[in-house]
Amino acid sequence: MTSSGSTSEQSRVYNERIILQLARQNPGISRVSIAEKTGLSAQTISVITSSLLEQQLLHVTGKVKGRRGQPSIQLSINAIGAYGLGINVDRDHISAVLLDFSGVCVLSLERAVSFPTEGVAQEIAQDLIDEVKTTLAEDWGKVQGIGLSRPDYMDSWLESLVTDEEQKLELETLKNALLYWQSDAFELWLAEQTGLPCYCQNDAVAAVISELLLVSDAPKNHLFYLFVSTACGGSLIADGECYFGAHGRAGSFGLIPTATGKHGKWILEALSVSSLRRFLAMKQVTWPLVDGEWLNTSYRPLVAQWVEEVALEIQPALSSVVALYDPEAILIGGRLPEGVLWPLIESIKKTQQSHSLLPFPAIRAAQTGYTAGALGAAVLPLYQTFAPQRNLLLLHSRDKSKGK
C-alpha cells in the first residue's frame, strides 16, 4: 500500500493553476468571484493573483465598483504572457501551430508529405520552427515548450494505409524507414533544436486536450474522442482529465476489429481518410480538389454509401465503449472533410439507435476541427505547465523513496 498527500508547494501551484483556469474561462473575473468559486481565502487569492500579475500571466482589464470599499479589479489571461508551440507529424502532413496564452492561434503552418522519414520530418520541422522564431522575435523566450503529437504505429498497416501507387511498390523499404518512429528520437531532436522541453502525446490524446483547454462549452467530465486522419485513434476523458489506463493504452479504439472487415480488419483502417480514398478509387472517382465538391450530386451517393458501411463496421466497438465507459458525449475530430464528417455522424446515430439497447450519448463534431492534431500539440506545453491537474496534489511514497 502506498500513501499519498501533498506539500504546501504543490498546493500553491495547484491553486495558481485553478485561478488561471478561472480567468481563462471567465475573462474579467474579480478576486471576490474567485473566492466564491474556489473557497480560497481573500489573503491567499491576493498573494497568488499578485504573483501572477507580476509574472505577466494575468493582467488587469478593468475595475468593478462594489457596494463597500475599494473597487474590485477585473482579471483576465494575458495573451502575450506565454506561448505554446506544437508540431503535428502525421502520415500525410507535418504542421505547426503557435498559440498565445489565451488559446488564440497566432500562426498555423502545414506541409504535405507522404509517410515522413527521419530526414524529411527534420527538414520540414526545422523550417516551421525557424518561421515561428521569426514571428515571435524577442518573445521566443515566452514559449513554454514544444508539443509533439503523432500517431502510434507509423510503420504498421502500410498495405491498407498507403494510397500512393509508387510507394505501394516499395512497401518494405518504406516500412524500414518508418521504424524511426518507434523511438523517441524525434522528440529528443526537437528538444535539442529548440532548447525547450518537449511534451509528446499521440494525436488523439493531444486533440482531446485541445478541446478541454480551448473550447469553453465542450463536455469536460466523461468524454470519448475519435480522431480520424490517415488512420483512426481514440482517447478518453474521465472525471475531467485524460485517462490512460494501467499501461497507457486506454482509448485505443483503432485497434479493435471491425464487424465484417469490408473496409479493413481493424477500425483504424476502416474509419480513416485512407479508407475513403480507397473507396473512391474503387469507384473510379477522384478526390475532390475543394471541400465544397463533396456536396455535389456526383459525390453525395458515394459519401452516403461509405458512411453507412463504416458506421456498421464500428457499431459493435462503439456500443462497447458506451456500455463500459458511459460517456456523456462522443466527439469526432481530425481531418475528414466536413461534407463527409456530418453524414458520418448522422449515420452513426442511426446505426446505433437500431443496433444497441443502451441510450446513445450525444455525438458531435469536435470544435477544434481540421487542425486538431497541431492545436493539441501546441496546447500540450500550456496544459502541462498551467492546467490544474489533480495529480499535482499527489505525492507518492514510492517516488519519495527513490531519492534515498
- The CATH number for 48's domain is 1.10.10.10
pLDDT, residue 219, reads: 66
In a domain, 403, yes or no: no
What's the domain count of the chain?
Answer: 3
Pairing of the two strands 58-64 and 29-30: unpaired
Please, are residues 48 and 15 in contact by the beta-carbon 8 Å criterion?
yes
Q: Are residues 231 and 342 in the same domain?
A: yes
Please, are residues 366 and 219 in contact by the beta-carbon 8 Å criterion?
no
In a domain, 396, yes or no: no
Q: Are residues 239 and 278 in the same domain?
A: yes
In a domain, 399, yes or no: no
Q: Are residues 293 and 245 in the same domain?
A: yes
Residue after which a domain boundary falls, among 57, 77, 97:
77
Q: Are residues 185 and 305 in the same domain?
A: no
DSSP lists the bridge partners of residue 222 as 238
d(CA 228, CA 236): 15
Output phi, psi for 246, to 5 deg. -65, -35
Give the domain CATH number at 235.
Answer: 3.30.420.40
Please, are residues 113 and 165 in contact by the beta-carbon 8 Å criterion?
no
DSSP lists the bridge partners of residue 232 as 228
Strands (E), 56-92: 58-64, 72-77, 83-89
C-alpha cell at 5: 498527500
Q: Are residues 89 and 40 in the same domain?
A: no
Instruction: Give the number of other Cβ atoms within 10 Å of residue 1's Cβ.
Output: 3
d(CA 385, CA 404): 27
Cβ neighbours of residue 277 under 8 Å, at least 6 residues apart? 163, 287
Residue after which a domain boundary falls, among 19, 43, 77:
77
In a domain, 404, yes or no: no
Q: Are residues 29 and 102 in the same domain?
A: no
In a domain, 393, yes or no: no
Q: Are residues 114 and 73 in the same domain?
A: no
d(CA 143, CA 149): 17
In a domain, 400, yes or no: no
Q: Is 53 exposed, middle or buried (0-12, 13-18, 19+ CB in 10 A)?
A: middle
In a domain, 210, yes or no: no
Q: Is 14 exposed, middle or buried (0-12, 13-18, 19+ CB in 10 A)?
A: middle
Residue 118: domain span: 83-205+373-386
Q: Are residues 170 and 296 in the same domain?
A: no
pTM: 0.87
Please, are residues 42 and 4 in contact by the beta-carbon 8 Å criterion?
no
pLDDT, residue 234, reads: 96
pLDDT, residue 24, reads: 87
pLDDT, residue 212, reads: 84
Q: Are residues 237 and 354 in the same domain?
A: yes
Q: Are residues 194 and 310 in the same domain?
A: no
pLDDT per residue as tens, the chain (404 positions)? 333 334 566 788 888 988 998 998 889 999 999 999 989 899 999 999 999 999 999 999 888 766 565 668 899 999 999 999 999 999 999 999 999 999 899 999 999 999 999 999 999 999 999 999 999 999 999 999 999 999 999 999 999 999 888 888 899 999 999 999 999 999 999 999 999 999 999 999 999 998 888 877 766 789 999 999 999 999 999 988 889 999 989 999 999 999 999 999 999 999 999 999 999 999 999 999 898 899 999 999 999 999 999 999 999 999 999 999 999 999 999 999 999 999 999 999 999 999 888 899 999 999 887 888 999 999 999 988 887 766 554 443 334 334 43
Q: Are residues 254 and 307 in the same domain?
A: yes
In a 13 Å sphere around the CA of 178, the CA atoms on its Cβ side amount to: 23
Instruction: Give the number of other Cβ atoms within 10 Å of residue 395's Cβ.
Output: 14
Q: Are residues 232 and 114 in the same domain?
A: no
Residue after which a domain boundary falls, among 45, 77, 109:
77
In a domain, 166, yes or no: yes
